Each structure stands twice: as structure tokens, then as C-alpha cells.
Structure 1
Amino acid sequence: MLRCNEDEILLFFPVGENSDLVGFVKLSKRKFKIPVVIADTGGDVFRAEESLNSRILQISVTSGGGGSGKSFVVGFLLASTLYSVDWFRVEISNPGSDLERPVLVHLGKRHFSHIVVHSCWNPHWAKESLVLLKNGELFLFHLESIAAIDKLPVKLEGTKVSVAWEGCKEGGWLSCDFSWHPRIFIVACFNVVYMVDWRLENSSGISVLANIEMFDLNHLVRNDRFIAFCKAGSDGFRFCVVTEYHLCLLDIRKPLMPALQWVHHLNNPRYINVFKLSELRTNSTEEQYKWASESGFAILLGSFWDCEFNLFCYGPSLPTPYGSVASRVSSFCNSLYAWELPSELCLLGNRCNCGNCLLKEDCYKTMLPEWIDWRQKEELVLGFCIISGDTWDCSEGFTLIRLVTSGRLELQRYFASWDFISVKPEESRKRLSSQIEDSRLRAVSNQKYKFPRRFKYLRLEYLHGYIYGDLSNVLIKKMQNIPSRTISPTQDRRELISEMLRSVGVHQVGSSPDLANVFSEIGSPMSIREIGSSRMWAGLPLDLLQMAFSNYAELAEVLLDQKKIGIQFLDVPNSSQFPLFFLRKPCNLSNKLPQNVQQGDGLVGPVLPLPLLLTFDDFDMGNHNSDLEENGYSSDYRLTHQCNEVLEVANVSLESCCDINGNHNVSLADERKEKMECTKESRTLFFYKPGAFSDQQDEPFVEDKTFSTFLSKVHEKKSTSISMKKRFGLEAFDDLCPVQVKFTPLSREKDSLVDSSPIEFSSEEMTQYNKLRNQFLLWQKDLKPYQDFCKAIQK
């Protein structure tokens, strides 16, 4: 919220298909008794002209500016995405006329190589802001330097605040803000709250205001951490921090000594803000509460997802008679006290808390399937702002404006009183005239959708069980409710699958192929995860592999809502290829075909994922219970163990075998982890890590080597005596790439993968090929990433 004047405010929120645009409306009471939403032409919300190209995660505003003539500056706005921050100037163009409208002017942008954790405005200087990154770096930005620039937006550089952090867990930064001085900052991470003194820009002094060990006296908080942080009051001396269990008020003048502390009993609260009680009890007519309103504060803490918010009130001690001992003590001891117990603040004012309604709500929650969160069926508040003042009819309370998931702006009036006030719902809760169509929980587009929206919910019990490590229990429950029946094996399918396994070196069905054969079949670069998964697919029992594949004749009976649906799976080709059974070309047929069209009996699939089959395999071996207890989740454990084995064997091979040119060779004679002997016929393998992984120093995720490490094979060297003009086959492409490339010819008649005779080129085709090849080699020579890649292979 940003105030334009006493009777007009601006409300800002993300809009757009990916919430990547700043949208806003004006709320005015200048000419009307009730607030009226002023929107853009056609009733749509005002929007910034430029998209931020990423989802907006935070919007912050500050007042200030001025001006006259055709535009009037009312403040500034910054919008943060995952890796960037944008700054805007908020103007009112043509003020006082019929053409008056709010405008956002894009001032500048800054991209970062690390995640933006938090950004805030300087309350001392209106055009200065602070940005905290996930790696702990602090940047200070000034907008004064671009005031006279005509060509906007500009790229802002900012000033880096050099700080040597100590004691903070890596990647655990939470928030930042300004303290009582414009060059003193408060920075919070998951386990420590720091004060950074940057008044001498050449050096930064840091001190600890709070740490998570302050709560070690309670056995419940051994694994506790700070999860929310904000400034308390405008003086910059007090701050609030929230843990999973506690709410704590801090004073920088007394570090490591909480001024106040509560047990909040809220589930994962991430929103926190501090208000003066005078803002929540405007123009109170009761004289006995006047002192409390002027001296007290209220901390609003809660969670939007659970829609639970509590008010924690605090302030000085009660007034005492002049000359008493308590009066003399209070003159030099400014202690703070918690006032009463926390009170609930319901953002959805139409919610009834009577016993009948609460019982119905609990019954409704238990009736929903376990994979559907009941909150996805409820109307949630996405954001809100609190308005106080005579103009907004906030006597004896305050007005709250909220944006809900249905896209509506709603106004709710709250009354502060010891007595129960009977107010009709239609009088206390009003729906504003504008509806925001770009709510993040709705399917949206830039154009109005002309057709009715119908949503279907899929039963994803198996996926839910796999994500939460409970797949085996889900399968056990399902099998108990399904009558037992045997699966009749198809002899043709068994023979086809067995033939495919033998073609890639699996001579004993049900056992994994030798790693030597697996390495020899690698063509283009494959991650360790892909190699391990392929080997596990090839090692599954034949009965399980039969369950994993089907044909379109069997899929013709698949119905959804009593209607046939078009299903496409991966076509399993007849030719021997690696990896087995996945990463295939989709079949160009569908089960939704006319009856006179022959669908064929070719295999398609897999129709069941690997974790499901591995869990079934554990059931057959009878060790699923012990595996789950000892290793957590059996299928993930087996796949991780398989990938580690592949990685270890490849590492041992590359370290132990080296030819005279320094190239690493792998012997394909044995799959054991022992040192392998090198032979002249051994094929050359190399490790490769894509630049997307190697350039990231502080990734937003924990790197898994099985995904980021690729293994590939260099093609065999051909004799240099062979003239290029005599090479009329696919081997002519070998010199263009250090990676061994396998070609699977396409049938020109059926456009499907089949075995065919080697392709040969005519002399005219080779002449044109040589011309293109020379141009391509020159391009490779000048391309630095490619040259670096070739050098990495030779190491």
C-alpha cells in the first residue's frame, strides 16, 4: 500500500500469467462515502509497461518525491524476483484533471548471480535501498544518480558492503533492514542475527544481537531456527525474530538478551509486522484506553497458507502514582511487558468460529483424500493492508483490505472493544467493485477466456507415496483391496523382451548386465543416473518387465470419465539400442483410432515407472520391510547404490588406465571395482560436467553428482592414410566431433526406427560435404567453449 493523500491510496500486487508484472489500482474516497476502486480503461487493473521476465516474489514501496505540472511523484517501488531487483518511480500524471492516472516509471534493474533473499528501502533516505543475497553479500543502491538520466531504465551497479561473516550456516540467510543509523544494518540468517556497522565504509564491524542457542534451555528447540524477521517501530532499535516455536523482541542496545519472548503456537508462521496500537484503535472515545493506545504496540504474526494470525500486544508498565517506588523505578528502567494473552485476528471475517461450524470444518477436512490438502479447496488471503484514519471510517478500530485467491479485493472493518459488537456481515465486510483476474491460483491469460473452466483432479496416490517415501505402504493398501489374480504371460512378449536383453549383453535374464558391456554401448554423453537406471531396467525379472510394457490393442480399453482418451507411449524399437526401454522416440499411433485401422502388436512403454517395479521386486524378495527400516526408501536406496557403483568403477578405470598420449582408457574385460588392465583395443571414455553445473558456486540446490556427471566415449581413431574423398559412409562424420556418435537410420517409408543397411553417399554429395566440413572446422577452431571441451577430454 502507498498513500497518495488522505483519501486516496495505491494497492500493488503481481499480475500476469507468471505473476511477472506489477499491477495496481487506486482506492479513493474523495467523492464517495465508501471506497471506490479506480482501474484502467475497460475495468482492468493498471500495469507496469515492462515484464520482469520472472515471477515477482516481493514488492516494497516508500513514500517521497513531489513535483508539479504534468506529473507528481508520490513514492518509489522495488520488485524482487529470484535473481533480479527492479526499481520504479510512482507518479500521478495530470493531477487534478479528468485525465489523472497513476503511472509506474521503470528506473533501473540489476541482475545477480545468486538468489535475492530480501530487499528493503532506507527509512532515512527515500531513494536508497539494501539488497541481501543468498551467499551473504549486501548491496546498497542509490537512485539519486539516475535522476537526471533521460533514457530509462538503466543498469544499476550498487555498492557492495564488504562483511566477513562468522557463524552463519551456508545458504541460510533470511532478511535484512536498516537500524537507527542509515549506515547500520541488521542482517538475519537461520541461526544468528547480526548488526553491521558500516559508518566507516573502508571497514565493517559486526556484532551478534541474537543466536539460536538463546533457546537451548527448552528441549523442544534443539533443531530450531529463525524463520521470520522484521523491524519493530520506527526508531530502529528494536527488532522481532520468529523461530518454529518462539516469538522474540530484541533491542540492539541489549544484545543476546531478549526484551520479550512468547511461545506462539502457530504452524510455520512466515508473515510478521509490528503496528502501533493507535493505528489499530483509531480515535478511541474511551479515555481509559487512551494511554495504552498511545504507548502500546502489537505484533501481527501468522501464516497465509493456514490463515492463522495472532496479535501479541506489549508496552511499558501501567502508570503509577507520582512519587511511589514504582514511579521512581520506571524513571530509569524502561522495561517492556507483554499485555494480556495473544488474541486471534481472522483475516476472513465471514468465518464462523462456533462449535457447529468448526465441527463441520473438521469433518470436511477428514473426508478429503489424503493427497488433497483441504486448503486448496478453501478461499485464502494472498495479501492485505491495514488503513487507519478519519477519512476511512476507522473510528474505534481499523479497516483491512485483502486480496483473496478468487481474485477479489475485499474490505473488512475491525472494531477494538472489550464488549462484543453485533454488526451485520454485510455492513462489516464489503466486496470492492474491482476483481483482479490475474490471481496466482487461477488459470489466466491476457485475453478473456470464452469457454467455461472445468477442473479435473487426478488420483496420484503412487506419486504422493513416492515423494514422501511411503510407496510400499501405498502398494500394500492397494493390493489388499484388489482380488488376487495371476497375470497370464504372453510368449511372444517374453521372447521379444528376452531378445532385446541379449542384444545388449544380458545373457541371464534377471541379472544386471556387465558394466563392461554397458560402457561399450554408450554413445552420446549419458549421466551416471541414466546409466544406473538403464542397468537396473535390464536387471529386472522378466515377469516384472512384462508388466511394464503393453501394446495399443491392450490400451484401447483405457477410459477416463467413461470416455476414451488419447494415450501415447514410447515406441520400443526392434533394433538393439542402449539405454534400454526409455529415452525413446514417441510412437506416432494412439489408442484413439478408428476400428478399421490396425494398431499393431508392437511394444510400447514403459507404462509403469522404475520405482514402482523396484518396490514390487522387493515384495517378491521378501525384504521390503527390513530395507525400508534400514535404508529409508528401498527403490531410491537401490538406485543410489547402483549409481555409486557405476561412478566408482568408472573412476577406478579412468585413474588406472592411460595410453602413451595421456588419454584415459577403460578396460572392458571385468566389471569389478578392482584395477583394470589396459589394452590397445580398450575404448576411450571421459567424464564431462556441463557448464550449467560447473559455473554455479552456490547453487539453490544440493548438487547430485549422479545427475551432473556425464560419461561419454571418444570415437575410435581412423587411419590417417584414408582419403576423405574415399569415405562415402557415416564414418565421414567421425572427425567432426570428439564424442563417438551412433547413427540409427530412419526408414524413409515408415519414418520409424528400424535396422537397415549402411548408408552410402554419392561422389557429388561428398563434394558438397567437404565444402561444408571445411567451413564447420573453421567455426570450431574459433569457438572457445568447444576448444575448452576438447582440452578437458584430453586431460
Structure 2
Amino acid sequence: MELSHEWKSFFPVGGSTVSPLLLSHPHSLPLGPLFFNPNPNPSPNPNPLSLLFSSPSLAPALHLPPHLLPSRFLLSSHPSSILPSTASSLFTPPPQNDTASSFLHNRIHLLYHPHLPNALVFFPTGANDHKIGFFLLTFNHGQLHTRLDPNGDVFLASTGSAHRILRISVTPVADSCLLHDPCNVIGYLLATTLYSVHWFSVKHDSILDRPSVVYLGAKTFKICPVAHACWSPHILEESLVLLETGQLFLFDLNSHGCSDAAFKGTRLKVPWNDSKNKVWLSCEFSWHPRIFVVARSDAVFLVDLRLKECSVSCLMKIQTLRMYAPDENERFLALSRAAPDNFYFALASTTLLLLCDVRKPLLPVLQWIHGVQEPCFMSVVRLSELRSHSRGDHFKLASQTGFCIMLGSFWNCEFNIFCYGSILPFRKGAITSKINPNLCAWELPVEINLSGRECHCGGCLLRKEFSKDAIPEWIDWQLKKEIVLGFGILRNDLAALLCEPDENGGFTLIRLMSSGRLELQRYHASALQATSMEDCHDQAFCLDRHLLYLESDEKYKFPKAFHYLKLDYLYAYATGDLAQFLVKKLEKNSIDYQDKEPLCAEVHELLCEKLNACGFGQSRSCPAITSVFNDIKLPASLHEVALRRLWADLPIELLQLAFFSYAECHEVIGDLDQNRVALEFLAVPDLPQLPPFFLRKSSPHGNHDIVGPVIPFPVLLVLNEFWDGCSNLEGGEFSVEAELGLKYKEVMQVAGEIAVSVYGPTHLDDHAVSLADDGEETWVGSSKPKSFLLYHPGAFNSSATGHVQEKSVYSDTVYDTFISHVPEKKSNEQTESVGQEIFDDLSPVELRFDAPVKKLEPQGLKAYNLLKRQMSKWQESFDSYQEFCIQSRFEKTS
């Protein structure tokens, strides 16, 4: 079937067996070799030029967190979780590693002197990659030399800030401009951080034969991060900046005065439609100085600012790729200007690589299935740059008219070359003026080994995959392997000074390795790809060096001991099978705790004493729910109150399993393991409290202290149900969360009856049952004024922190309602000596002091009155506090 050129472009190369726009064997023989293999020896000289320079300044400044952080195993718990915190330990896969974000962009950039055989190498350096490092490469008598500062290290240029430099971009000065420039400026450089862009001018001191970088100024965007910045190919001093909100800024170095270091660019008023919650990627200049190509994760736009009114048109949408990229997560990842002129641009998505023309919206010129995982780097070069310095000119015409897109990922160590050019085959002596303007792909994409150390033979590939599988999933194999962090292709005339001509030509690469080595590697064009490299068999995949970590020469001197914890109980709780798991355990070894003697009489007496002090015990003076509320002194969430209610229902014999003396803890551990492991538990406080005793210190305690709980409450609750003869444990009907939910509703109902709500009446659950009619659960002194305060802290109040879909920003609502005891009003008269109760009129909640009772003497009363006046003055000026006191009916004494 004969198709037009436009219809042929919808068939991506590699996406099907039929690729109408693919020029391949045998018709592509006139194109010449399109594989590029590294030379084992990059130079015929006795001293190979593979290593140019090595320094810690070239290594990336990474501050990598430990791999085994608790956050890898934490998930937000169920709203009715029995744990006091809002996170529970669950077995979940580790989150996506953010380390790759430091390897998205090319770290080195080359700038050439137009009249001297010199090249400047720029890269970020410093403790946080916050400085511009650079040095000079000079070519003399077929040798390449590095020119460093007097201390033997790289030159430095500061941005004036400590923020990490994410991208660097350079632009050279044209020869005509350089002749009329008395300052010897050879180019300009811009460096972008997360929220700022910095501009520099690059000069060459011909007298000292050394480079210099002069800081010109910066622009800081305080609210929105910088997405991309680029130089104009039309006007030397202009640059374009794209923010992550889609805002565009145009900067002109000529309009910047020397008096102010802060740049003031022109904000371009672009009428974006539906730009909220979109990821903006990149921006480029098109064929006109006021026409730009702007890429978003879902679309690419052409912005035309030649007229007074800005015009925006869509060039490409992600929906147009659905035939060969049906994944819903497909998105655009990279954008670059392309050849043969500024009408073309290259665009990479998750699956496809597209060559587009701004004159043909929504219609790609070429498409490839790129096969690169998360490509982040893309560069377009002429084929003549990759096949220079050849012995013959058999493929000269194809080299001069062909182009290559280099697409890859530094983090994943993958780079492919995509060649394209005229649709007509080339022959020696063909007339260039009759070349068909339509473009097609030249051969299938080819992989290029940038590191020069990757062997693709079967044995090395197998060892590579097996080594990856042997590494734990929380370790990134790239961090234990020397990878390429950046590269630059040496200019053809300079590369010709270093090596003899190749049969079919080639190119010279300067690459930066993660070990801090700057290397030079020669690649030659070949008709076949080299799959086996004998010199790299032993080092094809070395996973025994942490090259991206700071290493110490001193070995670990102390013996390593490993103690393994059996987490079957935790796993059963995380999966919701705790009851069934414990029942099977108990049935094998059934023990009746009621028949057992207390492990320690001291523990038994202490627990009974604390429970009796709070109104619990065998001779209760008031109902259980009343005792729980009487225990509330400091503010507590209703979730905590419900948890105390469940703890208080446990029999004293069962509580002994959760609390024991600190001396017993060492005895138990000693029986399990001769090498005692230091396990620390919090001591039970002296203040009368209900379990699980929230108010206590974490300071060291003695052997006579009572510590605990050492058994999680869910286990105790299931044990209590089991020994009470609960029949629904094995069937899976019993739920710890459901029990807590019932107690929470009970506490919520009672709180609504006995407490003053700051924010109006409490809206209870529809299924909550009032306890007012329960004869056994009556509130003592219910006729008295309400002495409890029910409120929501400002951090949990949606009206104070904003609305997100008409709901509170804080999602775990069981924790956002607090209750506290309001102190009784005291007389204003002060005696000669008073105690801690004097502070009660300063706060709407009752204060408790875990300290010996002391009386304030007249000298202390004088200091107290001074502090009280200052505190009152602050309270009167704080509107939110005054509103809180009015709604809570708290009257502050003067």
C-alpha cells in the first residue's frame, strides 16, 4: 500500500515489522557505518591519554541518607489504630529512590576558544555543588594538557549562595564579536539552582594564559522553582527561563547595569489554558528570537510573541501517541533543538522519541521506540562530528547531511544514538542540491557504551544481572559502580591533533566518571557493534566499591554481632490475623493466668495502688467511665481516652504480663541470650495515672523501678478475650480496631454531655449510643457546671489551615478532638506562702507538675507577679487566645 510521507511518520521505527521511514540494509550501504565502538587504546603514543585529570573536586557532592530509614517501613495507620502514634510498622516495599534526581543532567560542559587550540571544562563543585569549577585544556604537539590554578586544583567561581547547582549551560561568542571586544569575552555561562539563575561571562587572559569567570548577577524566584533555562541561538546575550508554574522570563545581559547584581527580566504574558497541576519540563528558542517551544509533561506548545498579543498553539499532545504508547503514565520527559534548522525539535516521552517540525503541528516527522528507561538527557549533533578524521571520503556526503540524536540516562547507564537524514540513498559524487527534503531514519537505534568499560558478551551480561539480583532491594546498584556523570564531544579540529585518522572516522569523548576522574576516549565508526571487550571482562560490573560514598581508609575494628528479631506477631497484626495467630499459639500451650502466682508481689501491689488511686480496683467508688474522665488532667485526644478505657478494663492479673520490675527484665534476657541485649523500657511514673501511663520520663531508671508495657496492647486485648471464652476469635469476627472504635464512640458521647465545646455542639456518630439512660454508668456530680473543655487545636482546624476538597487538611480525625480539665476558680487573695496552684489562673487547662511540692515565699511571689503581668499583657494582645477563653468560658483572674 502506497502511503504519503505524513502517514508514514505515524509508524515508529522499532514499533512494528513495517517501518516505511526506515532506511536499512541493503539500501543503506551508501550511508556508511553507524556503530561507534570505543578504541582500546585512544592514542598511538606510548603514554595513552585516557586519564586527563583526577581530583575530589570532580566527584559529586552527595549527601545520601541511610538506606534503612524507618520511613521505608512506615505507613499511615488506620484511623482507629490502637497505637498512640499516627504511624504503624507495616511491611511495605521501599519508596522510590530520590538519589537519581542528582544524575538527571550532564555535569560537564565544554567551551572552545575561537582562535586558540584551547577548551574550557565547566562542572559544579564544592561541598554542596554550589560553585562553578573549571580548568583549561591546551593542545600542544599532539598532547593534551590541563591548566590548573597555582595550588594544583581547579579554578572556582562562586554564585554567592550555598544552593546546589542543578544545570549549567554555556554559549560561545561569535568570531566577529570577539574581534571587537576589548574584554576578551569568549562566551557566557548560566547556572541554575532550584530557585535561582546565575549568569557569568567567560574570559581568557592572553598574558597569563589562563581563564577567568566573572559573575554578572542572578535572579531569585522565591515562590516557584526553576524548571529550565537556555541561551538564545539568535541573540548572544539573551536567555529564556521557565518556572514550574509555566511562567516564562526573558533576560538580556546588555540591559543589565553593573550597579545592581539582581537581574530584572521581562515576564512574558503567556495565556496558558488549564495549566494547573501540570509538570513543566523545558523551553527552547525556535526559528525566530521571539518564538519559543515550551514542553509540558502532557503537551508541547509554540509561543509566538512577535505581535502585541501572544499567540499559543499546540505542537504535540501525549494523546497522539496512544497507538504505540498506550500506558496511562506516558509523559514527555525531554526536549531539545534539532537539525537541520531551528524549525525542528526532538521530543522524548517515556516510550517514544519524536522528531517534530513547528510548521506541522500534531504531526511528527519521525518516531522511534527508544527503549531507554526514563531518559533525561538528549543532544542533537551532526553525523560529521561523529565520523570525523577518516582516511577516505567514501561517505562524506552522508556525514555532512546526516544527523544524530543521542538519548539516554546517566543514572541507568543507557545511551542510544538515533540517526536520520534525507530519504534518498547517497552515492559518491551525488548532487546535494537534489536531495529530497523529506527525512527518514538511518538504520535502527544503536547503543553506545559511554563508559568504555561495559562488555556485552553473554558471560558479562549474565554476571551483571545476577549481581543486581543479589543486592538487597534498598541498595541502588548504580551507587556501587563507577558510572558516567557527564561528557562532551571534542571539536573535530582539536581531536585530529591527538590521534591518527580512522578507517571510517570517529570522535573523541571527554567523560566525567563518578570516581572523580576526567577521561578521554576515542570512538571509531564501524559496520558492526563490538559485543566483547577482552580488557573489560574482569571489570565489567564491579559491585565491591561504594564509589559514590565517602570512604574511610580505616577498617572497622570492632566485632560484628547480629541479633535477629522474630516479627511474626507484628506481621500477623499488620495483616489483620492477630486473633487467629494467637489462638493457635495459645491452644498449643494453654496457660490460665488466674491460676498463676504474681511474678513479683511488688509489681502487683504497685499496679493495684495506682488503679485504686484512679478509682479502679475490686472496690470501685465510681463507674469505670467516670474514673477515666477523672484521670484527665492535661489535654488528651479522645483516642487516648478511649485507649485508657480499654486498658482499665483489663484485669490486674493480665496487666502483670505487661509490667514488671527492671531487674526482672535483665533476668529474662539473660535466659534467652548470654550476650545480653540492652532493651530499655519506660518506668511507671509516681503520679497517679491509668495505663498505659503517657506522662513519664525517659531518663535512666534503677532495678527497682516498674517498667512497661513490654507486651503490645493488641496482644493483651486478644489474650483477655481468649481467657474470657470469646467464641468468635477463630472465625475472625473479633477485631482489635472494632473494640477500640466502640470505646471511642462511648467516650465521644460522654464527652459531649459533660464537656463544654469551644466550637459548638459536638457532632457525634449516628451509631453512638448515649449513656444517660444506663443506670450503672451515671456521671457523678452531673448537676454541677461542666468542668471539661472539648476543642480542636488550630493545627487540625480546617478553617484555620485552609480547605482541601472541603475537608480538614489533617485526615486522621480521631486524633484532632482534645479534651482537658478546667481548673476550679480560686480566690484572688494571696497568703504569705502559696503552692503550685497559683499558676491555675494563667491557663484554661489544669496544670500538673511532676516535681516536689514547694511553697512560694514573698520573694518568689514578687517575681511571679512580674511574670504574670507580662503574661497577661501578651494574652490580651493575642486575639485567638481571647476568642478561645470566651468560647471556653474561662475567666482569667487579674
Per-residue CA shift, 1:549-593, capped at 9, x if unaligned?
9969757979xxx9988776766645467995779754347xxxx
Instruction: Say which SS state the counterpart of residue 416 (structure 1) adopts.
Output: strand
Q: Which residue of 1 aligns with 2:225?
A: 115
Per-residue CA shift, 1:309-345, capped at 9, x if unaligned?
11111122125799x9x998x66xx322111111011
Structure 1 residues 520 and 177 mapped into 2: Cα distance closer, same or farther (>3 Å)?
farther
Q: Which residue of 1 aligns with 2:381?
A: 275
User: Does residue 684 of structure 1 match 2:789?
Assistant: yes
Q: Which amino acid aligns with 1:176?
A: C
Preserved contact between residue 659 and residue 708 of structure 2 (Cα < 8 Å): no
Could you tell me how far apart the structure 2 residues matched to 1:73 and 1:260 are?
36
Q: Which amino acid aligns with 2:393?
A: E
Alignment of 1:150-169 (within 5 A): 152=261, 154=262, 156-168=263-275
Q: Which residue of 2 aligns with 1:189?
A: 296
Per-residue CA shift, 1:414-472, capped at 9, x if unaligned?
22232678999999xxxxxxxxxxx993238xxxx785689999999999999x99975
Q: Which amino acid aligns with 1:61?
A: V
Q: Which residue of 1 aligns with 2:405?
A: 299
Q: Which residue of 1 aligns with 2:245?
A: 135
Structure 1 residues 205 and 465 mapped into 2: Cα distance closer, same or farther (>3 Å)?
farther
Could you tell me how far apart the structure 1 residues matched to 2:747 and 2:249 are?
46
Q: Which residue of 1 aligns with 2:868?
A: 773
Q: Which residue of 2 aligns with 1:631?
A: none
Preserved contact between residue 240 and residue 250 of structure 2 (Cα < 8 Å): yes
Instruction: Say which SS state the counterpart of residue 287 (structure 1) adopts.
Output: coil
Per-residue CA shift, 1:397-422, capped at 9, x if unaligned?
22223333323223322222326789
Could you tell me how far apart the structure 2 residues matched to 1:372 and 1:536 are?
42
Q: Which amino acid aligns with 1:361?
A: K
Q: Which residue of 1 aligns with 2:259?
A: 149
Per-residue CA shift, 1:682-730, capped at 9, x if unaligned?
633433454999789999xx96534999555677376486257889444
Alignment of 1:251-262 (within 5 A): 251-262=357-368
Structure 1 residues 268 and 236 mapped into 2: Cα distance closer, same or farther (>3 Å)?
same
Q: Which residue of 1 aligns with 2:372?
A: 266
User: Does residue 603 of structure 1 match 2:691?
Assistant: no
User: Does residue 85 of structure 1 match 2:196?
Assistant: yes
Could you tell me how far apart the structure 2 residues matched to 1:503 and 1:224 are?
65
1:198 pairs with one of 265, 282, 305: 305
Structure 1 residues 320 and 285 mapped into 2: Cα distance closer, same or farther (>3 Å)?
closer
Per-residue CA shift, 1:737-757, capped at 9, x if unaligned?
66x4744425xxxxxxxxx5x
Could you tell me how far apart the structure 2 residues matched to 1:727 and 1:29 are?
87
Return the offset for 1:390: 2.1
User: Does residue 173 of structure 1 match 2:280?
Assistant: yes
Q: Which moved more, 1:87-96 or 1:206-215?
A: 87-96
Structure 1 residues 420 and 670 mapped into 2: Cα distance closer, same or farther (>3 Å)?
closer
Instruction: Say which SS state the counterpart of residue 330 (structure 2) adopts.
Output: coil
Preserved contact between residue 381 and residue 403 of structure 2 (Cα < 8 Å): yes
Return the offset for 1:23: 3.9
Structure 1 residues 667 and 421 mapped into 2: Cα distance closer, same or farther (>3 Å)?
closer
Return the offset for 1:278: 2.2
Preserved contact between residue 666 and residue 683 of structure 1 (Cα < 8 Å): no
Instruction: Say which SS state the counterpart of residue 376 (structure 1) adopts.
Output: helix
Could you tell me how far apart the structure 1 residues matched to 2:741 and 2:146 are?
59
Return the offset for 1:3: 0.9
Q: Which residue of 2 aligns with 1:432?
A: none
Q: Which residue of 1 aligns with 2:482?
A: 379
Could you tell me how far apart the structure 1 residues matched to 2:468 and 2:337 are?
37
Preserved contact between residue 405 and residue 419 of structure 2 (Cα < 8 Å): yes
Return the offset for 1:114: 2.8
Alignment of 1:207-222 (within 5 A): 207-218=313-324, 220-222=326-328
Q: Which amino acid aligns with 1:342?
A: P
Could you tell me how far apart the structure 2 residues matched to 1:651 and 1:402 are?
70
Q: Which residue of 1 aligns with 2:44?
A: none
Q: Which amino acid aligns with 1:270?
A: C
Q: Which residue of 2 aligns with 1:344?
A: 447
Preserved contact between residue 169 and residue 191 of structure 1 (Cα < 8 Å): no
Instruction: Say which SS state the counterpart of residue 147 (structure 1) adopts.
Output: coil
Instruction: Say which SS state the counterpart of residue 114 (structure 1) adopts.
Output: coil
Return the offset for 1:349: 0.8
Q: Which residue of 2 aligns with 1:763?
A: 858
Instruction: Say which SS state the counterpart of residue 380 (structure 2) adopts.
Output: strand
Instruction: Say which SS state the counterpart of residue 221 (structure 1) adopts.
Output: coil
Q: Which amino acid aligns with 1:745?
A: D
Preserved contact between residue 330 and residue 350 of structure 2 (Cα < 8 Å): yes
Could you tell me how far apart the structure 2 residues matched to 1:90 and 1:456 are?
56
Alignment of 1:225-374 (within 5 A): 225-233=331-339, 235-319=341-425, 334-374=437-477
User: Does residue 97 of structure 1 match 2:208?
Assistant: yes
Alignment of 1:315-464 (within 5 A): 315-319=421-425, 334-392=437-495, 393=498, 396-418=505-527, 441-443=548-550, 451=554
Return the offset for 1:11: 2.1
Return the offset for 1:291: 2.1
So what's the TM-score if we normalise by structure 1?
A: 0.70
Preserved contact between residue 796 and residue 810 of structure 2 (Cα < 8 Å): no
Return the offset for 1:214: 0.7
Return the offset for 1:361: 2.0
Alignment of 1:639-654 (within 5 A): none
Structure 1 residues 587 and 85 mapped into 2: Cα distance closer, same or farther (>3 Å)?
same
Preserved contact between residue 355 and residue 364 of structure 2 (Cα < 8 Å): yes
Return the offset for 1:74: 3.2
Q: Which residue of 2 aligns with 1:750?
A: none
Could you tell me how far apart the structure 2 residues matched to 1:683 and 1:564 are?
47
Preserved contact between residue 666 and residue 676 of structure 1 (Cα < 8 Å): no
Q: Which moved more, 1:457-466 or 1:299-308?
A: 457-466
Instruction: Say which SS state the counterpart of residue 707 (structure 2) adopts.
Output: coil
Structure 1 residues 305 and 713 mapped into 2: Cα distance closer, same or farther (>3 Å)?
same
Structure 1 residues 706 and 205 mapped into 2: Cα distance closer, same or farther (>3 Å)?
farther
Return the offset for 1:293: 1.9
Q: Which amino acid aligns with 1:681?
A: K
Query: What runs of 5+ residues in structure 2 fail to find an aligned partner?
Result: 1-108, 537-545, 619-623, 721-727, 773-781, 888-894
Per-residue CA shift, 1:725-779, capped at 9, x if unaligned?
88944454456566x4744425xxxxxxxxx5x4543231121122233334445
Q: Which amino acid aligns with 2:297?
A: F
Query: What is the root-mean-square deviation of aligned Cα atoms in Å?
Result: 6.1
Q: Which residue of 2 aligns with 1:3?
A: 111
Structure 1 residues 10 and 365 mapped into 2: Cα distance closer, same or farther (>3 Å)?
closer
Could you tell me how far apart the structure 1 residues matched to 2:562 and 2:264 are?
49
Preserved contact between residue 301 and residue 315 of structure 2 (Cα < 8 Å): yes
Larger Rg: 2
- Greater RCO, 1 or 2 (C-alpha within 8 Å, sep 6+): 2
Structure 1 residues 276 and 327 mapped into 2: Cα distance closer, same or farther (>3 Å)?
closer
Query: What runs of 5+ residues in structure 1 fail to find an aligned partner?
Result: 428-438, 590-597, 628-633, 747-755
Preserved contact between residue 538 and residue 580 of structure 1 (Cα < 8 Å): no
Could you tell me how far apart the structure 2 residues matched to 1:166 and 1:376 are?
41
Q: Which residue of 2 aligns with 1:664?
A: 759
User: Does residue 75 of structure 1 match 2:188?
Assistant: yes
Structure 1 residues 719 and 451 mapped into 2: Cα distance closer, same or farther (>3 Å)?
same
Could you tell me how far apart the structure 1 residues matched to 2:279 and 2:357 are?
22
Could you tell me how far apart the structure 2 residues matched to 1:352 and 1:765 are?
81
Preserved contact between residue 192 and residue 198 of structure 2 (Cα < 8 Å): yes
Return the offset for 1:308: 1.4
Preserved contact between residue 665 and residue 684 of structure 1 (Cα < 8 Å): no
